[in-house]
Structure 1
Amino acid sequence: MQTRIYRWCVSILLMSSLILGGCATSAQQSDTLDDSIAETQAQSPVPSESNQFSGLPYLEGEATVEMIVNGAPISILVRGLDAPITAGNFVDLANRGVYDGLVFHRVIRQPQPFVVQGGDPQGKDPNFPANQLGTGSFVDPATGQPRYIPLEITPANAQEPVYSQTLESAGITDQPPKLRHTRGAVAMARSNLPDSASAQFYFALADLEFLDGDYAVFGYVTEGMDVVDQIQQGDRITSARVTSGLNNLKLMD
């Protein structure tokens, strides 16, 4: 019983850190983002309903991305059928070389295994302050503007994703998402604004059921989880390449 109470308390603390990190101002970011899965931006990225998905990449099927870290490969199966926009965004960024050289700026293993997070484009600059990583987004060179994607979660018994809402806020409390936070899940980091994910992602180091329905899982590590387990804060992604399924990458009209 004491063990279960301890795990529940830890889960609540970790979830609270996610919420705190998302609403930080620029002056507070370095303090509040350290223990959260959060990606922060200066202004709300929420688009209007009429053009919410226009111009965004999406994945029509599956793809495989191979990420090299510390000289070893991590194979990620990207699930476009259940998270088409989230999966398409990740595959597009990998194909563009956006993740090459970026830092894993947040690794949390204590008091229990949690996440390894990276993908802040600001980390490409070796002189960028490490304590400010976790605040950056992908800037589309075609527009000069940050690209944000909607929160996208497909309930277990649904054919279509729920967009721009957590499952709880959408009133779906009787079923989990199709893509769950099991060990090896790969999901998008975001702030407390639902449509604020951009480039930052995280690996789940354990089953994290308390994140299900709040953050968008888009794939799973199929090989190389032992490599993920060895990642330390400050390690860099040598490269990320789409090894199959690139033909499934499309662009929203």
Structure 2
Amino acid sequence: MRFLAAFLSLILSFLALPALAQAPQAASPAQPLPTTDLQNVWLLDLSTGGRVAILLRPDVAPKMVERIKTLTRQHFYDGLTFHRVIDGFMAQGGDPKGDGTGGSQLPDVAAEFNYLPHVRGAVAAARAEKEDSANSQFYIVFQPRLQLDKKYTVFGRVMTGMNYVDAIERGEPPANPSRILHAYIASDNPPAYQPAPAQAVIPAALGDVTLPGAKPAPAPTPAPAKKRSPRR
């Protein structure tokens, strides 16, 4: 009898294997950040589908890092576009005007050129011709551009989420620019990433019909002479 009971138990265990294999797996927890220094982690929630975590470097660029933290906590970056995105080079954003000439109301930041290289994922301050003209704009490097080293202030590097940076819409400016949905400092206990709400599709047959509550498009303005941007 003991042999028969053991044999039946063995048969039942084999029959249960397919069901176990098809059982849904529990969702894996979110990947922890590869650092405990949350006061120096800049989080960018992008419209490309996820969150980018950037390690800030106040040890080599304290003024620019402080500017990033100040503007982030003022929600300055929320909703801003990447207005200049060159494939194989970099994605530039942080301009409230969206054309490369704007900045915050705060004074410009003095240059803090340092030894950090323009490798993939490097984050640096964009500026005009004047070296001490960095303000709010920044760029994220797609591919190494070492010729820019010690000419622009590198103040951080992407730790996680570079795939969302790679997905930023290209163009100068892009036809449908990608956006920063929200920016946070990790130590401020930010909420989880929330994707942008889906935009309503207007049928082409409506033509130029003005929808209720819609605002007229602003009149075009002449292109300014200077742009805060790195050169290839």
Residue 158 (structure 2) pairs with residue 221 (structure 1): yes
Would the aligned equivalents of 2:39 and 2:185 in 1 still touch at CA under 8 Å? Answer: no
Residue 105 (structure 2) pairs with residue 134 (structure 1): no
SS of equivalent residue, structure 1 residue 92: helix
Would the aligned equivalents of 1:187 and 1:203 in 2 still touch at CA under 8 Å? Answer: yes
Aligned to 1:91: 69
SS of equivalent residue, structure 1 residue 122: coil
Deviations for 1:64-99, whole angstroms, at most 9, x for unmatched residues? 111001231000110101111111111211111100
State which of 74, 80, 84 in structure 1 corresponds to 2:52. 74
What residue identity is the alignment partner of 1:150? Answer: A
5+ unaligned residues in a row in structure 1: which ranges?
A: 1-60, 124-132, 141-146, 155-176, 247-253
What residue identity is the alignment partner of 1:244? Answer: S
Aligned to 2:186: 243
Give the distance between the partners of 1:207 and 1:86, measured in 2 at CA. Answer: 21
State which of 138, 141, 149 in structure 1 corresponds to 2:109. 149
Q: Normalized against structure 1, the TM-score is what?
A: 0.55
Based on CA coordinates, which of the two structures has the bigger radius of gyration?
2
Residue 134 (structure 2) pairs with residue 197 (structure 1): yes
Residue 82 (structure 2) pairs with residue 122 (structure 1): no
Residue 102 (structure 2) pairs with residue 104 (structure 1): no
State how many pairs are aligned: 146
Aligned to 1:9: none
Give the distance between the partners of 1:202 and 1:214, measured in 2 at CA. Answer: 14
What residue identity is the alignment partner of 2:103? Answer: S
4+ residue segments displaced more than 2 Å: none
Greater fraction of residues in strand: 1
> How many Å apart are 1:230 and its aligned residue?
0.3
Give the distance between the partners of 2:39 and 2:50, measured in 1 at CA. Answer: 23
Residue 167 (structure 2) pairs with residue 230 (structure 1): yes
What residue identity is the alignment partner of 1:210? Answer: Q
Residue 38 (structure 2) pairs with residue 64 (structure 1): no
5+ unaligned residues in a row in structure 2: which ranges?
A: 1-37, 190-232
What residue identity is the alignment partner of 1:193? Answer: K
Q: Normalized against structure 2, the TM-score is what?
A: 0.60
Same amino acid, percent of matched pairs: 40
